[in-house]
Structure 1
Amino acid sequence: MTNVVYHKPNKNTENHVSIMDIHFISTTKTNLLSDELIPRLKNKEKCFIVTANPEIVMQTKEDAQFKHIVQTADFVVPDGVGIVIASKHKKQPIKERIPGFDLMLDLLKYANDNQLSCYFLGAKDYINNKAVSEINRRFPYLKVAGHHHGYFKGKESEVLREMKATKADLVFVALGSPQQERWIHKNIDQFSHGLFMGVGGSFDVLSGEVKRAPEKWIKLNLEWLYRLLKEPFRWKRILKVIEFMIRIYIKKE
């Protein structure tokens, strides 16, 4: 198998903003798709996308190996209003917050319009099945190359072989962070091509098991608050966001 070789984006350009040593791309979702991701799909290149919020940045502060993984991604997308606020405080404002869920939907639409193939890895078995059914309904011309739930301990090699055989153009991994990024980093070199993206709880939303915030909340950048009100058990994650903001505003990191 011959792997495609390409030049990784230069993360020291004006199109990137560094926040706690993580280089976020500063562009609009439209331009990210048209200028970066779609050309890679057309050229059958490999691409690793991380959608990062303050919580993930704080994880990189606590885990050097995970930090390395995020730093070696092709694109780190600012998925979280805290990242945008931090960039403004640093007087290097990121052009636009790019929600990972919205980016995934746009990629699915492109795959549908161009009859590309996608693989869906992660979540519970019934959620994975429901999410794939919904994707088939919304995007009937997209080819589902395959899908597998996220509980495959002891069957890693078997699942990887199955995925490689599909030669999918896009691979969406919903194992939660940092597991999904670790999986992609560990296995991406086994594939000849493909766009790989960690999508967290997106399958839960697509399946209908979790309701996304109403559009009004999203436009006000309050999606995080809506999720907290709906899922109070997430409160510990807010502490990480508070720590992130303290490091930005007080410790000047």
Structure 2
Amino acid sequence: MKTASILGVHFHAVTMQQAVELAMTRLRARQKGYVVTPNPEIVDLCCRDSEYMGIVNRATLVLPDGIGIIYAAKILGEELYGKVAGVEFAEHLVAAMAKENMRLYLLGAKPGVAEQAGAKLCAKYPGLVLAGTHDGYFTDAQEAVDAINSCGGADVVFVCLGAPKQEKFIAENMDEIHATLFCGLGGSLDVFAGVSKRAPDIFIKLGLEWFYRLLKQPSRIGRMMKLPKFLLIVIRERLFGRKGNNQS
């Protein structure tokens, strides 16, 4: 599979359809693996944490979540086929799973949110089997592992604990969990539950979802400033190579 390297993170160059097909192929073959969906903030975390970088780069699928990743690829002359947002990938995957009556487990978010998300997904995609849910407010990872296994396991587990916690949880515990594919999906459960809404389609199509979120929450301005900083680091790498990639 072709990859594009962005500051050391190796993204897979796939379309949404290809990503879902690859995931379903592994599910049918019962091949364990995990999917990560890095945005610029996650790439920045990887640059600061070599262990985390390794976890991300060992993923079965590394999907470009965020227009900043696509801009970075263009700056660096790397080829990606467009943004594959985590929440959109998750919904397309659920739709495919429902056709084969596969089992989904939802882990993360505040108490009650995962149940609400599961109910809405099952109503929207008849045939999907909700194996179980657990909120993200656990202090012992074994508690979550036992909860998933006690329900008979699942084909897919959506792990929505935020980065880097969700990817580290997957890497440390997937061998013990009775499930095939794990997907680190940040705040996706809030979207599926209707607790938070995505930007209108026009903002998404124009690559301005970040701007819509800023309009809704001006307090995010500090967080949003990370995007131009990220792109400056990418430009510096293009001009001067990896030696110039020092974020201190």
Query: What TM-score comes out, normalization by structure 2 length?
Result: 0.91
Q: Does 1:47 align with 2:47?
A: no
Task: Trace 1:25-40 onto structure 2 (pairs within 5 A).
Answer: 25-34=12-21, 36-40=22-26
Q: Say whether 1:56 aligns with 2:42.
A: yes
Q: Which residue of 2 aligns with 1:230?
A: 216
Q: Tell me whether 1:20 sits opposite 2:7 in the alignment.
A: yes
Aligned to 2:245: none
2:153 matched residue in structure 1: 167
Report if the CA contact (8 A) 1:123-1:204 is conserved.
yes
Gaps of at least 5 residues in structure 1 are 1-12
Aligned position for 1:190: 176
Q: CA 1:192–1:209 in 2, change beyond 3 Å: closer, same or farther?
A: closer
CA contact (8 A) 2:145 2:177 kept: no
How high is the TM-score relative to the length of structure 1?
A: 0.89
Report Cα offsets for 1:32-81 as digits up to 9, x if no partner.
Answer: 222x2111011011111110111110011112221121122121100111
> Which position in structure 1 is the counterpart of 2:77?
91
One-letter amino acid matched to 2:143: E
DSSP 3-state at the match of 1:52:
coil
Structure 2 unaligned regions, length at least 5: 243-248
Task: Using the TM superposition, give the Cα deviation of residue 232 of structure 1 relative to its aligned residue in structure 2, in angstroms.
Answer: 2.3
Q: What amino acid does structure 1 have at the position aligned with 2:17?
A: T
* Aligned-partner Cα distance in 2 for 1:153–1:193: 21
Kept in 2, the 8 Å contact 1:45–1:193? The answer is: no
**1:221: how far off?**
0.8
Point out the more displaced range, 102-111 or 67-76: 67-76
Q: CA deviation at 1:237?
A: 2.1
Aligned partner of 1:78 in structure 2 is: 64
Q: Is the 8 A contact 1:84 1:94 kept in 2?
A: yes
Any idea what the Cα deviations from partners look like across 1:74-95, whole Å, max 9, x if unmatched? 2110011111111111222211
Is 2:142 the partner of 1:157?
yes
Which of 114, 117, 133 is the aligned partner of 2:100?
A: 114
How many angstroms apart in 2 are the aligned matches of 1:32 and 1:190?
A: 25
CA distance in 2, matches of 1:33, 1:206: 18
Q: Which moved more, 1:84-93 or 1:108-117?
A: 84-93
For the 8 Å contact 1:101–1:202, the answer to whether it is kept is yes
1:246 to 199, 221, 232: 232
Give the distance between the partners of 1:97 and 1:142, measured in 2 at CA: 26
Contact 1:80/1:99 (<8 A) preserved: yes
1:68 paired residue number: 54
Conserved in 2, the CA contact under 8 Å of 1:121 and 1:173?
yes
What is the CA–CA distance in structure 2 between the aligned matches of 1:227 and 1:22, rounded to whole Å?
Answer: 25
Runs (4+) of structure 1 exceeding 3 A deviation are none
- SS of equivalent to 2:26: helix
Instruction: Give the length in aligned residue pairs.
Output: 238
